[in-house]
Structure 1
């Protein structure tokens, strides 16, 4: 079995008009949400052994705010920056860990979440996939290369407002 934690970055700051999109940081609400999501992950014992993260500043800051243990294999890639759902699946299929955290952006991350699971979680915010939205899905596979659309079993879903 493989477990995916699919997270959209926390709330970003739109006040820095001179910054390009890739360099936007989190706002205070986003930093607070990242800490709360990290607490939730620890409480649920959902600690990844591999992280695949967009290279954007806001995804890096979200990851940092989670407060995960040091030493987790982490890859920062531009390929997850505003990636399509097919690109996200392709990156996931290259993963090596048993529990993989992927951090990315909408619209691709939300569309991917919906396409990965056998049925959507019973949560009013799942289809909107707001900032900080986090899906936990299990796949009955031995290797990530076997991951396919609509094969993930949704195990949990949370948004920062729930915390």
Structure 2
């Protein structure tokens, strides 16, 4: 793997008609934000070979809005990603190191945010980058990393729907 995209699902409804938290769908703004993020990633040459997606409705719907921007991508719905802590997400990433040139992990906070900060700390990212990430990981955000041959992640960028002009 040479690239990693850690992404939080887009804006979801505050509740689900039935089924609890895992069944919460995207809000209408979330659908447009997800499509915007898909286009932005593709325009930057960030096309995943493999996407690991939480089994929650809102993450699956985020992917549905994004996937047309990427073409053919292997998809794995991972129940273990639902509200997973950073160590579980990290383990799933490490297990895919040999399978994809570019891996997208589409999951939930706080796990995605915590793992992004861990990678930044491990790679001795600048204080400015750490400060930016300390500001939170909003819905639809994606942290972008370059991965070296030893599996170390180095910060490449941070995109949010708002930074791309979403309202």
> TM-score normalized by structure 2?
0.86
**Aligned twin of 1:113:** 116
The CA deviation string for residues 44-82 of structure 1, in whole angstroms up to 9 with x for no partner, is 011011111101110011111112444311100111000
Q: Does the 8 A contact of 1:125 with 1:159 survive in 2?
A: no
**Aligned twin of 1:34:** 34
**Aligned twin of 2:53:** 53
**Aligned twin of 2:76:** 75
More helix by share: 2
1:124 Cα deviation (Å)? Answer: 6.2
**Aligned twin of 2:137:** 129
CA distance in 2, matches of 1:33, 1:65: 9
**Aligned twin of 1:65:** 65
Q: Does the 8 A contact of 1:83 with 1:105 survive in 2?
A: yes
Q: SS of 1:83's equivalent? A: coil
CA distance in 1, matches of 2:130, 2:7: 15
CA 1:75 to 1:154, structure 2 compared with 1: closer, same or farther past 3 Å? same
Kindly tell me the number of residue pairs found equivalent between the two proteins: 156
1:43 Cα deviation (Å)? Answer: 1.2
Residues 79-88 or 10-19, more deviating: 10-19
Q: SS of 2:129's equivalent? A: coil
CA distance in 1, matches of 2:111, 2:86: 5
